[in-house]
Structure 1
Amino acid sequence: MRTAAGGPEVLRLAERPVPGPGPGEVRVRVHVSGLNPTDWRSRRRALPPGMSEQVPHQDGAGVIDTVGPQVDPARVGQRVWIWEAAWERPWGTAQQYTLVPDRQAVPLPDHAAFALGAALGIPALTAHRALTVHDGGPARLAPGTLHGATVLVAGGAGAVGNAAVQLARWAGARVVTTVSGPAKAALARAAGAHGVFDYRAQDAVAEVLAFAPEGVDIVVEVAPGANAALDLAVTAPGAVVASYSAGEDERLSVPVLSSLPKNLRWQSVFVYTVPPAAKQQALTDVAAAVDAGALRVGEAAGLPLHRYPLEHVADAHTALEQGVIGKVLLDIP
């Protein structure tokens, strides 16, 4: 937990009574907690209004051990994955027991490891929104819904990029990704990208257009400021550039006159405030992809796992903040 803003050193272990769920809530015995860049960024900011302390981390996986009023008692004992646990709430997943609203604990099939469940949440829901926000495209993902579409994933070795590659492949798209070195290229290929280009060693524009001469329909963009010129050069008419991340000081200069003939959309994606109906569709589709075995984690799936015990949460935050490649997880005792 933390009681102040700052670096990883503000995180500390504390013993507290096991909480009881309120109306519409479930209590989850957390097995694995997943870290995202928003976790260390929010740690550096002041606590939300009205909170004197907060347990970090939005994502996790575990087992429902009790439910509050207005929740089906049959959910007790259900394996679940959790999303947005700490969004404007004090109960994150970096603890043995956490409370979340009923809908924020999604059933996790028996064949899916808790590590996979803890890696879904923010990355998978962000990727889903980026893949479904364009004009004329599907509002949902399922096998065949992106058939005939070409998707460019910038940074295919990242957590969101990995989820975007796997979801786009599951939905039938042709997927190309850009990376910054051979090791990341191997991970993007393992995720399932059809084409992988190292923008430091290759002419990314030429390579993407050779792969997709008519241009790409969707760009899942991790660095819109740095990649605006590339995105403009490779997009097809009516395409969307859906950006979900940026550096703290990054600025996006949109080439308006060049964008106009393509009817190009520059779209922001902030998963926490995605419209409720779109969020619910994402939950349904991601759960279906997990059930189908279409979302995987681990190095063989292009997303290496870096696991830390709960007492080393500060080390986990440091690794993530320093840019470790893969997914950082906490194992909860």
Structure 2
Amino acid sequence: MKTIIYRDNGGADVLELVDRETPKPAPGEVRVRLAVSGVNPTDWKTRSGATNPKQFAEVTPHLDGAGTIDAVGDGVAAGRVGQRVWVFMASAGRATGTAAECTVVPSELAVPLPDEASFDLGASLGVPAITAHRALTVAEDGPRRLRPGALDGTMVLVAGGAGAVGHAAIQLARWAGATVISTVSGPEKARLATAAGAHHTVNYREEGAAARIREIAPDGVDIVVEVALGANLALDLAVLRVRGTIATYANDGGEPVELDVRQNMMLNTRFQFLVLYTVGPEALAAGAEDVAAAVADGALPVGEEHGLPLIRFPLDRTADAHQAVENGAVGKVLVDIPG
């Protein structure tokens, strides 16, 4: 089979296309013949060595993808062969991810994908959608699972609603009944966030952004889904309700985070930092199950018309796909797998 590998950490040029033997699933695993692989920021950061040192002599990158199960290991129902699935966390702790014609993963990491859902959608779920799910389910007095009605009466502020996690957070929050506000940097990002389902958009670069959010949510927002904590903390705290939650999954821009302890004491602020690598199996399983339910309800569409443009590259241009994500491409970067 054809697969992308890298042997050393470094820039996108360390990625190369090679032929390798098609893997066989071990007990408890399934083999997925992939149609599309999804690229996330964590994929290029892992490749570069910025987050973790390389663990294996040779690595096939990418956590997320979608395709069809074509073989199963012992202990997995034979009826899963032929099932369309989306795959998440494929390369977490393993040498083989989804930038290949086939990958093997534990069976619970291959989630059934309805016939009416495209492989593009399946490859766009994974890390972004499960991260968004986690961010929406960590409030002290909020739900631990999402379903229609679970967030009725809740005000959710999504920072960076035009990004992949922000897009999923808007869609999941709206599916669960929340009123969704998204902060954006300009009209084009506002268009994308609105297309994703945000009820309101506010340009955080304009004077009076906090006052506009307070007009929408006079008592403050319940949950902030945050992508740039250092840059946005002052705004978040200005609009957060007492006992509200800031769930942060990134610090884009790298600005330092400085906390006014007394201000946060008076607010009883809950800060939840999150990354899927260490979130634990129960949270991953809950996220995957609820995301699958939202997909079945048609609540997580992707594409330009739904607020998440798709940017495509063939497998032999995976390096260009990584560079696009590293350069801040707006939308979801996908790699098409031949065959």
Asked whether the two chains share a fold, i.e. TM above 0.5, the reply is: yes
Worse-matched range after superposition: 70-79 or 266-275: 266-275
Match of 1:11 in 2: 15
Q: 2:66–2:87: 8 Å Cα contact kept in structure 1?
A: yes
Match of 1:81 in 2: 86
Give the deviation of 1:201 after TM superposition.
Answer: 3.1
- Residue in structure 1 matching 2:183, options 173, 178, 182: 178
Q: 2:243–2:267: 8 Å Cα contact kept in structure 1?
A: yes
**SS in structure 2 of the partner of residue 13 of structure 1:** strand
Are 2:96 and 1:91 aligned?
A: yes
CA displacement 1:122-175 (0-9 Å, x = unmatched): 000000000000101000000000000000000000000000000000000000
Q: 2:28–2:76: 8 Å Cα contact kept in structure 1?
A: yes
Give the deviation of 1:7 after TM superposition.
Answer: 0.6
Give the deviation of 1:266 after TM superposition.
Answer: 1.3
Match of 1:67 in 2: 72
Match of 1:48 in 2: 54
Match of 2:41 in 1: 37
Matched residues in 2 for 1:202 and 1:169: separation? 27
Matched residues in 1 for 2:273 and 2:206: separation? 29
Match of 1:103 in 2: 108
The code of the aligned residue for 1:52 comes to A
Matched residues in 1 for 2:255 and 2:206: separation? 24
Matched residues in 2 for 1:304 and 1:61: separation? 18
Match of 1:22 in 2: 26
Worse-matched range after superposition: 185-194 or 274-283: 274-283
Which structure 2 segments of 5+ residues have no match? none
Match of 1:298 in 2: 303
The code of the aligned residue for 2:314 comes to P
Number of residue pairs matched by the alignment: 332
Q: Cα distance 1:127–1:235, how it changes in 2: closer, same or farther (>3 A)?
A: same
- Residue in structure 1 matching 2:239, options 234, 241, 247: 234
Could you tell me the TM-score, scaled by structure 1's length?
Answer: 0.98
Q: 1:47–1:53: 8 Å Cα contact kept in structure 2?
A: no
Matched residues in 1 for 2:260 and 2:275: separation? 22
Superposed CA RMSD in Å reads 1.0
Q: 2:230–2:254: 8 Å Cα contact kept in structure 1?
A: no
Q: 1:34–1:57: 8 Å Cα contact kept in structure 2?
A: yes
The code of the aligned residue for 2:18 comes to A
Matched residues in 2 for 1:132 and 1:247: separation? 22
Could you tell me the TM-score, scaled by structure 2's length?
Answer: 0.96
Which structure 1 segments of 5+ residues have no match? none
Give the deviation of 1:202 after TM superposition.
Answer: 4.6
**SS in structure 2 of the partner of residue 259 of structure 1:** helix
Give the deviation of 1:237 after TM superposition.
Answer: 1.0
- Residue in structure 1 matching 2:197, options 166, 169, 192: 192
Q: Cα distance 1:314–1:270, how it changes in 2: closer, same or farther (>3 A)?
A: same
Are 2:165 and 1:165 aligned?
A: no
Match of 2:145 in 1: 140
Are 2:279 and 1:274 aligned?
A: yes
CA displacement 1:60-111 (0-9 Å, x = unmatched): 0000000011111110000000000011101100000001001000000000
